[in-house]
A and B are shown apart, each in its own frame.
Chain A
Amino acid sequence: SQQGEEDPQALSIQEGENATMNCSYKTSINNLQWYRQNSGRGLVHLILIRSNEREKHSGRLRVTLDTSKKSSSLLITASRAADTASYFCATDAKKAGTALIFGKGTTLSVSS
């Protein structure tokens, strides 16, 4: 079953614009991660935020986490055509080493 649900399902923007994706989850978590998947390829880890953190930055990525609302957002600033991909949030239970539960993803299309 899906733990995370991303919103929106699809997003189309122009190069240079910011893209924001949201994720909601159901149970208490240890960490929340965001992954990117280019069409038909494997997933690539982007960023991890711990349950006791509220915000994290990595390059053009900014992730926020609100554990009271069980939600997270991923902001990609100054989008590029190369950012075109599907983005998934993934959560794990409060026990280290358990499998990740992925949402259905947001498909981002960045046009030049």
Chain B
Amino acid sequence: DSGVTQTPKHLITATGQRVTLRCSPRSGDLSVYWYQQSLDQGLQFLIQYYNGEERAKGNILERFSAQQFPDLHSELNLSSLELGDSALYFCASSVGGAKNIQYFGAGTRLSVL
């Protein structure tokens, strides 16, 4: 158990809809990262938050947004969903610092039908 909790585990929705994925980082970790994993694109970094503030952005679509709350949990919002958004979405957390070892949650499998 990595200590990172993601909910829900599975999500099935229709095109055009909006969903929210939730992540609780390991106790004490200030950084939260969101990744998308699909067969064709591999594991892609989306966005990072550190102690409530956006720290870095990767290949995140404008239809996607995220935030980190004062209690350090994070949410990833995906809107106007398309078939191609079907993927595994992972949250990872780290304490930060030079080593940057990240601890991953079990992921949310999103299916857009």
Residues of chain A whose beta carbon lies under 8 Å from any beta carbon of chain B: 1-2, 30-31, 33, 35, 40-45, 48, 88, 92, 96-105
Contact = CB atoms under 8 A, between A and B. Distances in A.
Given A42-B105, A44-B2, A103 B42 contact: yes
A49 to B, nearest CB: 11
Contact of A42 (B31, B45, B106): B106
Given A42-B90, A100-B33, 10 more contacts: A1-B59, A33-B101, A40-B107, A42-B104, A43-B102, A45-B101, A96-B98, A96-B100, A97-B50, A97-B96
A44 B104 CA distance: 7
Contacts of B33: 99-100
Contacts, number: 69
Contacts of B63: none
B106 A99 contact: no
Provide the main secondary structure of the chain B interface. strand
Nearest to B109: A40
A105 B106 CA distance: 18
Contacts of A41: 106-107
Residue from A2, A40, A96, A99 with most neighbouring chain B CB atoms (10 Å)? A99
A45 to B, nearest CB: 5
B56 interface: yes
Contact of B45 (A35, A96, A101, A104): A101
Could you say which of A33, A35, A43 has the most chain B C-beta atoms within 10 Å of its C-beta? A43
Contacts of A42: 2, 4, 90, 104-107
Contacts of B92: 43
Interface in B68-113: 88, 90, 92, 94, 96-107, 109
B104 A43 contact: yes
23 contacts: A30-B98, A33-B101, A40-B107, A42-B90, A42-B106, A43-B43, A43-B102, A45-B101, A45-B103, A48-B99, A88-B43, A92-B100, A96-B96, A96-B97, A96-B100, A97-B97, A98-B48, A98-B100, A100-B33, A100-B100, A101-B45, A102-B35, A105-B43
